[in-house]
Structure 1
């Protein structure tokens, strides 16, 4: 049901601002179109943070995979849940103003049920749902204004995936190639922009503990995925205005690159790929390329910047010869038309699951020729890349944030240990950036994965099936760090602090000299931005799943974070929850 409250009308601003964001606000994902996840608020600082206490808690009633980043517009906080329900809350007290209950068209979705947030603009709340819909709600009442079916309920269904569950003898299978949405939408130039996840073919096989992290991601030779895409919808009507497909229809094989664009050897059998190419000319039609997180937007250039995911079939590349353009790339698109302006493919012909997943962020990058308007992205491969926003030229690459091992070594039948694995060094979690110091703050996973090529023998009814299985490498270090990178001075690591458990959700930096970072064991930590020292911790009762935010009302600063567990919590020993926990200093 919907609960309506007249106070919501008075509390509502017109929407996402066209100019600079007020210091007190957090009106969109990343706080503004730069995606910097930085706030200029200073009331909570190094000296006062020790007094931070819960101010109010909102429980969604739905436990698990609570990865949302809330949005605050005026005096109202908007939050979505794992099942795409939405609540509008009084940002001072957590009092419910209204709720929207989503009725999904299908229970078959890609991966775990997670939604990472809404967008608010011009009196509307926009949400992209797991069952493939883009919805506009009245921000004052929660009433549905329009509901656009962007993906058919059956789109992406894979019979191959269903049939293989028994064949592979898995404890349990989660997911297949089914399209839906996870990212918070971007609202820009009167458009609601969002991209699909689930395009990369894969069975996520549970391990004996019921968790996914220790299990396998199976990419099957010849198994079909779907074609990933990003689309823009009219904010007033929901009508689709443009759609950009990740996989290139003409020439997606590219140059059969022997190295990455920054010169790292890929160890590819290019001769074998070229020999296989004639039989796989149409592979781009089902070539994958999910879009995981919200683009950054440069209004002056009229460009949006978004990362693309792995090609399909994942982890097994001979049936998709070539570079597989434009998967595994940071791309710049014209906001008005969706036309590609430039791309930088971090990993041509990926076989390791190194999606460009963490949201890009905008910055001014010092160079020998002066400051350049730039866009940066924290990668799964263990570097932060910095590019010229207008041209895509690589301006800088940070020091490695992890110890890389056998990077880009192909999977083998005997097993290849590679670090990082598919969860990356930096996954979808946002990287915060403080322009005053030129520092980026990233949650970094240190660990290795064993990639094994396996074969299911042929039968009288089907040919042999080859696939790649991934498992956590035994005997290899496995931990997380919060790492500060000095992008203003060549990408050197300033400091790196090991987490008590795996870090999750992403980071928030503030002008109070703090970096907030969550852990899977339920702790929200506040670090000194200069040294990395932990100045404050609070146990939220469940794993931190989403990025923290901060805002201010009536002269009081708040910090809000979702505590519901993360996608890897099952089987980890840490529970799930359903709480949005909001902190403030005592009155």
Structure 2
């Protein structure tokens, strides 16, 4: 899991409030009730039935009422408040409202960070029903978010009977729950009174460390879930199994484990039997994608445990950090491609695999695109797994840590990188004053820094990009007409240091590393410390932009445009003018047939619209809290709505809240 859990140990962006930042100028809930059944609409514009718009996560809408010519007229159409502000939740400061609603007929369904499911009228935001699974609020969950829910309809059931349409959610306390889409009442015939316990079969080690944060995938009568795992705790962690459950009964139909489960399997994949037995993780905590016609399930897996030292899991650790295609009906492996060998950097595959049709040398190819935290785009033939754009294994730096053997090469695709892979050098030091620039030069000079894939070290290694990315769970969007991939990108480096076991606790207790995050990595020879590569003012030691939005043209295999994303607004005192310099982001883009890209994600409280052709910002709408979620859009009752959850992000320290906001053009007279 890890990236979305705690992107920055330092409250970095609070530091932007210092007066010297001025120099940047040079640069509601109610009782549960049931509504009568509603007519299901067939208009493609009116539907956003999956987290990613469609089952393949393309995040493209045919809605085109809002255009480049009129987007500046957008206004708030309605606002709903969930009421979830973390009362009684032991880590309310960690709450991150990352949900994207889905639309079925004329109802929106969404989830709060604490897994409360809410149904709203899509045209007015009026409350319809609410279901609270009552997760234990005293547990220290590894993450406190829920990115959404999934919808399934029983084609064998009599229409309008209870639970003939179901909403599924995976919870922080590791349950898979089914509720009636019309009423929010749990489906008694699913599992045990409406829920299935997911933790027991995954080798749980501690309550709150094995959870589900992303909506399940749906294939025919199967509900398929991965898991999020609190990583860096130890070598022996929960196993990152993928499981499919019968949508009616909750019975498990198949299970797939990315880590070998027997001697023959371990040998075939280059694992030792002992390392396969001990290692955990390699889990898929992000969204899964489904090609319904081909019966294929696409899984982005994460790193094997622990993230930053692999001496207990030598070898490539095949199927970890991989794009995996399974037969959706059986869990049988079809193909897999490892995109990071022997991960030592927490470079999970965080983005949802995106299923698209691309034009390549006069042929249409059914492809899958996987973005990575390293800022690379890998494109494969969906059926065969063959690269559409060539992939080359290039030599990378070797490890100098006893007991570690880093992979000598890593895969690089022929698509253009979305950020620099060069080493951060003292000449790259940036700061607001000569003082902090000099301090940054000294800091950079003392760390190991040899570019992308420089292994962690005892002296400290600069990770550029950091474990936040690159591209994180916000993922990609695709414009099929222009063959453009849209990607939000982070550009902030960090430092990771391996610490000898007997030095870890004294270092943590010394009080000298208050801006650092420590991890035990129990069972390994070393613990870990990590922090942002920051100046004394708390700002990154490298120049902005620290966040961008990029458009990659797959026809020409080039970056069409790349623009700064986010301003210093909400990170500076009110009297300091804000500047659009590009800020870190969590959340994704969507694309519409109106020629627009909508995205919030950055650390200022805005939803923005960009011109798909040029990347020019055309509009921004003010949000009452952080918009670290992916928006969605639909046309209904003659209006196109753009909806986003605005509730902030605990890791990015943006303003927290409980808002769901819909923007639309003014209603016709």
What TM bracket, shorter-length normalisation? 0.7 to 0.9
Residue 119 (structure 1) aligned to one of 110, 134, 150: 150
The residue that corresponds to 1:58 in the other structure is: 80
Identify the residue that residue 259 of structure 1 maps to in structure 2: none
Give the stretch that moved more between structures: 292-301 or 326-335. 292-301
Q: Does 1:529 align with 2:612?
A: yes
Question: How far is the alpha carbon of 1:370 from its aligned partner?
Answer: 2.1
Unpaired runs of 5+ residues, structure 1, are 159-175, 204-219, 257-276
Name which of 32, 40, 59 aligns with 2:54: 32
TM-score normalised per structure 1: 0.84
Shift of 1:409: 1.3
Question: Is 2:315 the partner of 1:322?
Answer: yes
Indicate the larger mover: 67-76 or 108-117. Answer: 108-117
Please, which of 548, 569, 581 is the counterpart of residue 481 of structure 1? 548
For structure 2, the residue ranges without an aligned partner over 5 or more in a row are 1-28, 86-94, 154-164, 188-193, 390-412, 423-450, 505-521, 535-540, 568-582
Deviation string for 1:395-427 (max 9, x for gaps)? Answer: 124201001131111111111213111001001
SS in 1 for 2:588: strand
**Distance between the aligned counterparts of 1:329 and 1:452, measured in 2?**
25
Taking a change above 3 Å as real, the CA distance of residues 125 and 255 of structure 1, as seen in their structure-2 partners, is closer
- Over 3 Å counting, the alpha-carbon distance change for 1:284 and 1:23 in structure 2 is farther
Pair 1:13-2:36 in alignment: no
Using the alignment, how far apart are the partners of 1:509 and 1:584 within structure 2? 16
Post-superposition CA distance 1:293-320 (Å, at most 9, x none): 2222112221011100111011111111
- CA displacement 1:354-375 (0-9 Å, x = unmatched): 1011001111233337222110
Do residues 383 (structure 1) and 376 (structure 2) align? yes
Q: Report the equivalent of 1:217.
A: none
Task: Give 1:248 shift.
Answer: 2.3
1:92 aligns with 2:123: yes
Aligned to 1:236: 248
**TM-score computed with the length of structure 2 as normaliser:** 0.74
Matched, 1:305 2:285: no
SS at match of 1:301: coil
Confirm whether residue 505 of structure 1 aligns to residue 571 of structure 2: no
State which of 385, 394, 404 in structure 1 corresponds to 2:387.
Answer: 394
Q: What do the CA deviations read for 1:198-233 (whole angstroms, capped 9, x no partner)? A: 0x6325xxxxxxxxxxxxxxxx5xx32221011111
State whether structure 2 residue 411 is matched by structure 1 residue 411: no
Q: Secondary structure at the match of 2:80?
A: strand
Alpha-carbon contact 2:202-2:240 (below 8 Å) kept: no
Q: Is the aligned partner of 1:432 residue 2:458? A: no
> Shift in Å at residue 10 of structure 1?
2.5
Q: Quick one: distance in 2 between partners of 1:567 and 1:121?
A: 31
Partners in 2 of 1:544 and 1:458 — Cα distance?
A: 40
Whether the 8 Å CA contact 1:556–1:584 is kept in 2: the answer is yes
Change (3 A) 1:177 1:414: farther
| Correspondent of 2:625 among 523, 542, 547 | 542
Secondary structure, aligned partner of 1:504: coil
CA–CA distance in structure 1, aligned partners of residues 485 and 523 of structure 2: 49
Deviation at 1:330, TM superposition (A): 0.4
Alpha-carbon distance in structure 2 between the residues aligned to 1:240 and 1:23:
35
Distance 1:585 1:253, change over 3 A: farther
Decide which of 453, 472, 475 is 2:498's aligned counterpart. 453
Structure 1's 285 and 369: CA in aligned 2 closer, same or farther, altered over 3 A?
farther
Q: Give 1:284 shift.
A: 4.4
- Distance in 2, matches of 1:110 and 1:489, equals 45
Greater Rg by CA: 2
Q: Is the 8 A contact 1:292 1:428 kept in 2?
A: no
- Shift of the alpha carbon at 1:156? 2.8
Alignment of 1:83-482 (within 5 A): 83-105=114-136, 107-108=138-139, 110-122=141-153, 123-145=165-187, 146-152=194-200, 156-158=204-206, 178-198=209-229, 201-203=231-233, 223-249=235-261, 250-252=264-266, 281-368=274-361, 370-396=363-389, 397=413, 398-405=415-422, 406-457=451-502, 465-474=525-534, 475-477=541-543, 479-482=546-549
Compared with structure 1, are the counterparts of its residues 417 and 6 closer, same or farther at alpha carbon in structure 2 (3 Å cutoff)? closer
RMSD: 2.4
Post-superposition shift, 1:435? 0.7
